[in-house]
Amino acid sequence: MKKYKILNLDCPNCAQSLQKELQKQPFIQDVMIDFANGAIFLDTQDLERTKQTIKEVEKNIEILEWREASKEPSTKVELFFLFSLLGCFALAFILTSPLSQILLYGIYLIAGIPVFKGAYKRLKNKEFFDENFLMFFATIAAFFIGADFEAVAVMLFYRIGEFFENLAVRKSRKNIQSLIDLSPSYAWKKQSDGTLLKVFPWELQIDDIVIIKAGEKIPSDGVIIKGESELEEKMLNGESMPRFCHPDDEVFGGSINLLGVLEVKITKTYDQSGISQIITLIEQASTQKSQSEKRITSFAKIYTPCVFALSFLIAILPPLLGYGTWDEWIYRALVVLMVSCPCALVLSTPLGYFGGIGGASKKGILIKGANFLEALAQLKMIAFDKTGTLTNGEFEVDQIISLSSYSKEEILGFAMCAEHLSSHPIAKSLQKQAQNLSITHTPISHDQIAGKGMDAQCCGNRILVGNKALLDTFGIQYPQIHTQETLVYVALGSECIGYITLRDAPKPNAKACIQKLHGMGIETMILSGDQQANVQKVAQELGISKAYGGLLPQDKLTLFQSHKQEKSAFVGDGINDAPVLSSADVGISMGLGGSDLSKETSDVILTNDDLDKLIIAINIAQKTRAITAQNIALALGIKGVFIILGVFGVAGMWEAVFGDVGVSLLALANASRILR
C-alpha cells in the first residue's frame, strides 16, 4: 500500500465512516486510515477515481503525496471568528427584544453550520445519533421549551470546544510527523566528476556512492567501499558500544559516523532501508489505536434512542389514555428531553481524565491522552527495554584489576593518560571514575586506532589502552578473561599491567520499582537489543523472570505482542523501541535520555527518566478512574431523578437547565479533586 497525506480530516468518526465507504469500492484493494498521523494507506487501481469517491463522502478532504509540502490551516481567522460570536452573544443579553432574539438566532445558525452539515450527512448515510445529531436535537428541544439563551450557548460553546480539539489533533500530528531529526535529513552524493551533490535520502538509488563525514548519519543501508570508522548504532539496536567498520562491512541507515570520512555504496533505497522500515512499523502500529470510536458516539447509540423513545411515549401516551392535555404532556416530554441531554455524561469522563492528566503533569509525567491514562489504571503487564531504561545507559567502571605491582589508582592514572582527550563512550566512563583523582598529564602523542583503542606517549611512557586486538597488534601477552562485561586492557611498554571492567549498571531505584509493580499484580519482562548474557544478569539483579536479548526492532515487536495481555505497556528510550511503543496499549518513554522518535511515538513521557514516576502515574490513573466512575454515577443518578420529576410535572424548564448544566458543574468540581 502507498502512503498519502490526508488533509482536513479532524474527526475520528468521519475517518471510520470514510474508511468503511472506501472498502466497499471494487477498484480499491485495500485501505487503512491512520487518523493519529493524518495519513491514508491505499492500494488502488484508480487513484483519481478514489479521490473523487473521497470528495463525495467528505467534500473538504484532500489527498496529497506524503512528502508533498502542504500549508497548515490558519487558526487565527477561526479563533477571531469564534470570539466575535462570543461578543455578539454577550451583546444579546444587553439588547431588548426583538433585536436580541434576531441576534441569538443569527449566532445559533452561524455557529451551528458544521453541526447541521454533520447531522445531515449522517442522516443521509443512515447513521443516526452521533454527536452532531445529539447537539442538533438538544438545542432544538431547548428552543421549544423557551430556553433560547441556553440553546445558543450550548451550540456556541460546543463549536469552540470542537475548535480546540481539532487544534490539539493537528499539533499531535505535527509532533508525530517530525521525523526530520530522527531519520537522515540529507546525503552527499558523489557524482561522476568527483563533486558532491546534496540530496534528500529518498532521492538516492541503488549503487549510488555517498560520502558520510564525521558526526553525520548514514542516509540509507549500504556497504563501505572506502574508509574506516566507528558507528554509533545505539538508537537502532540498543547497544552502548560503537561498532568498528571497515571496507566491505554492511552499514545501516540512521547510524551515526563517529570518526573519519566514509565512502558508502547504497544497496537499498531509502524506502527499503532499516530506518524507513522502523518508521513504517510505527505508522502501522499507531493505526491500531486510531480505529477506536469516541466513547460518546458508542454510548449515544444506546442512550439517545432510548431517551427519544421515552420522550415520545411521554408526549403521546397520557393524552391518548385521557390523562391531561396534549400541550401539557408535550411540554413535560420536552423537559425530559432537555434533562436527558447527554452533555453532562459527555463531560463526566473527559473532565475526570483531564484532571488526572493535569495532576500527573505537576509530578513530571506527561500523558498524551485520556485513553492512555485509563489504560494505565488497567495494566496487567509491563515490558522494559534495558539500556537507558532500567540501566543508566552508559558505561561505568565496575572493577580495576592489577596484574603487576601497580595499584588500582596507578592503573587508572595510566589509562587516563591515554584517554583524557577522547570523547569515546569508554573514555568518558574512565574520565568519570578518575574525576576525583589528582592526575596531571605530559602528553607527547595520542593515536586512536579505530576499533582497537589508544596508543599514547605520555608522562615518559608508551601506554596502550584498548581491547585484545590492540594488544595482539603489538605482540603483548595478556590473560584470557571470561566475562560478558566490557574489558579494557592497560599496557605499559610491552607489559600488560592490568585491566578494567565496565558495565551498564541498573538505575538506583529500578529494583524497588519492579518490586512495587509486582506488588500491584503487574507482570514484568525485559526486551533488549543487548547481548542475552548482559540482559539476563540485569534481570536477575532486579527480580525479573522473563528477559530476552539480541532483539531487532521487529523481534521486540513480535515478542511483545506474543506476551501481550488485556492491557500491556512498554517502557523504552531508543529509536529501536518506537515500533513497540506504538503497538503497546501504553507506550512510555524517557524524557531526558529518550530519543526524539521514542518521545513522539510514546503515550506517556517520564520527563526526568525517574522510574518512581511510573508508579506515581499508575496510582494517579487508578484514582482518576475511580473519580470518573463517580462522575458517571452522579450524572446518571441526578438525571434519573429529574426525569422522574419532569414526568410528574414537578420539574420545569429551570429545573431541567439545572439537571443539565448543574450536573456538569458538579462533575467538574469532583474532577478537580484529582489535581489536589
Is 385 in the active site? yes
**Contacts of 180 by beta carbon, 8 Å cutoff, 6+ apart:** none
Residue 108 CA: distances (Å) to CA of 116, 132, 145, 650:
11, 14, 16, 30
Sheet strand arrangement including 256-257: 243-245, 229-232, 256-257
Eight-state DSSP code of residue 652: -
Strand 586-590 vs strand 604-606: parallel, antiparallel, or unpaired?
A: parallel
Eight-state DSSP code of residue 271: G
Tell me, rounded to whole angstroms, the distance of Cα 657 from its chain centroid: 40
In angstroms, rounded to a whole number, what is the distance separating the alpha carbons of residues 629 and 341?
A: 19
Other CB atoms within a 10 A radius of the CB of residue 321 amount to 8
Which of 501, 499, 450 is closest to 473 using CA atoms? 450
Q: What is the largest CA-CA distance in the chain?
A: 115
Which of 363, 371, 372 is closest to 615 using CA atoms? 363
**Contacts of 387 by beta carbon, 8 Å cutoff, 6+ apart:** 234, 238, 239, 240, 393, 504, 528, 529, 530, 573, 574
Long-range contact pairs involving 512-521 (C-beta distance under 8 Å, separation at least 24): 512/612, 513/611, 513/612, 513/614, 513/615, 514/542, 514/543, 514/544, 515/543, 516/615, 517/382, 517/614, 517/615, 518/543, 520/618, 521/380
CB 133 within 8 A of CB 123: yes
Point out the catalytic residue in the list 10, 130, 208, 385: 385
Count of positions (residues) in the chain: 676
CB 250 within 8 A of CB 268: no
Give residue for cell 450524572.
635
User: Which amino acid, one-letter code, is at 273?
Assistant: S
Give the residue numbers annotated as catalytic, written as ranges.
385
